[in-house]
Amino acid sequence: MHLSPRDQLIRLAHHFGSDPEYARAGGGNASVKVDGVLHIKPSGTMLADLRDEDLVPLRLEPLFEALVSDEPVEGDPVMVAAERARVGDPAGRRPSVEILFHALIADPLVIHLHPLVANAVTCNEDGRQLTADLLGDEALWVDYIDPGIPLARGIAAARVEFESHTGRHAPAITMLGNHGIIVSGDTFEEVAQRTTWLTSTIAAAIAAAGPDAGTDAAAGAVSTLDNAGSAATLTTLAEQFRVATESRSVVLDADAFIAATTGPSAGPVSRGPMIPDQIVYAGSLPVLLREDDDADAVAHQVARFRGIHGRSPVVAVIPRVAAFAVGEGDKAARNALDTYRDALRMARDADRIGRVRVMDQSERTFIENWEAESYRRSVAATA
Ligand SMILES: [Zn+2]
């Protein structure tokens, strides 16, 4: 059966978008180029739900111009470029903020994902070396760069450098520091095969490294939920956290994975976020609570967090015991906690094969204040 390029794109989006190992919530995106027009997933739509009629068509030429132009524009330069590239009526859909790197990769099919396994390499102090060791010339490494035009230009520069050094085309896989992957190709099969290969290669390296004896994994094998009194305490604390943050919903996890990965020194517990999507859905850092906190203590910690960070916490952690997340509904709260669990796993696996790298203060502040991300969050909140 011969599928049209747009059908192959939809198939690719559904194949990886429905698997939380590869994409969660509105994260990730996908595009296809047909006759000088880029057809891309709208911002806030989930890959798993993408339909042909959702795709936003954009002429490639204005996108290429935005990549090289330093002409000052009013507003977000990516959205200005999207407006210039527009074909027809967008019907309220807004293209992904990552349109420019989709445009600059010549292959017709491009998928961008935040796979948990791949992010053990991208969120790593040794990410460049691990990429070279594990994936060789099949992948290009790009250090973390602020999203939008700076990231697209950084990717373009890395591709040019690879091509001038090796005399060969830039690889179909790009590893984006503290972010995710881009994989391209001519067909669904080609892109799917490359994505699966890269994930299984890194998964094998993580498995071979094994759990670090004596660190968080070994220390937290017992879940406090085995104890009924403790379970009631945690439920009460979760409710106090919900009230303190003036949220509608709260969810609570206190399983062996949380116990093993939320040691006080774990990256996502005390040092910083792993990837931009974590900031968008779960906040940069959790507020830390204690099992013996009362309602006043929880309120005090939340107020203190607001004073320091200028916003309410989304996630609360009792190190080695439990994690809570709040939201404007059960779905949003659950998504926040699942996003945070993803971050904990990336950090654990990054430490197994190297040393976890969290986003630094300026990297995370940029995302916290980014208008385009708050748009995505507002779309996700009403979904
Ligand atoms: Zn991304």
Distance of CA 20 from the midpoint of ligand 1 (Å): 14
Q: How confident is the model at residue 218 (pLDDT cuts 50, 70, 90)?
A: very low
**More confident of the two residues 18 and 26:** 18
Residue 44 zone, left/alpha/beta (φ > 0; ψ -120 to 50; rest): left
pLDDT digits (tens, 9 = 90+) for 293-323: 999 999 999 999 999 999 999 999 999 999 9
How many of the other CB atoms lie within 10 Å of CB of 213?
A: 7
Give residue 213 CA to ligand 1 midpoint distance, Å. Answer: 33
- Stated as kind and residue range, the H or E segment containing 242 is helix 228-244
CATH superfamily placement of domain 216-382 = Class II aldolase/adducin N-terminal domain (3.40.225.10)
Q: Compute the distance from residue 236 Cα to the ligand 1 centre, in Å.
A: 36
What's the gap in Å between 178 CA and the centre of ligand 1? Answer: 10
Given this model, what pLDDT does residue 291 score?
A: 95
Residue 71 has pLDDT above 60, yes or no: yes
Domain with CATH 3.40.225.10 in the chain: 5-207, 216-382
Question: Looking at the domain 5-207, which fold is it?
Answer: L-fuculose-1-phosphate Aldolase (3.40.225)
- The string of pLDDT tens digits covering residues 33-46 is 999 999 999 988 89
- Say how many Å lie between the CA of residue 186 and the centre of ligand 1: 21
Neighbours of ion ligand 1 (CB under 5 A): 180
Ligand 1 centroid – CA 289 distance (Å): 30
Question: Residue 270 has what DSSP assignment?
Answer: I
3-state secondary structure of 40: strand
Residue 32 and residue 54 in contact, taking contact as beta carbons nearer than 8 Å = no
Radius of gyration of the chain measured on its C-alpha atoms: 21
Beta strand 249-253 pairing with 322-327: antiparallel
Helical (H) or strand (E) element with 182: strand 180-185
- Rounded to whole angstroms, the Cα distance separating 104 from 177 reads 19
Torsion of Cα atoms, 308 then 311 then 315 then 321, to 10°: 20
Q: Bridge partners of 86?
A: 58
Contact 313, 283 (CB under 8 A): yes
For the stretch 99-148, pLDDT in tens is: 999 999 999 999 999 999 999 999 999 999 999 999 999 999 999 999 98
Tell me how crowded residue 190 is: count the other CB atoms within 10 A of its CB: 16
The neighbouring-strand residues paired with 323 are: 253, 317
Tokens 């949003």 correspond to 332
Q: How far is the CA of 23 from the centre of ligand 1 (A)?
A: 9
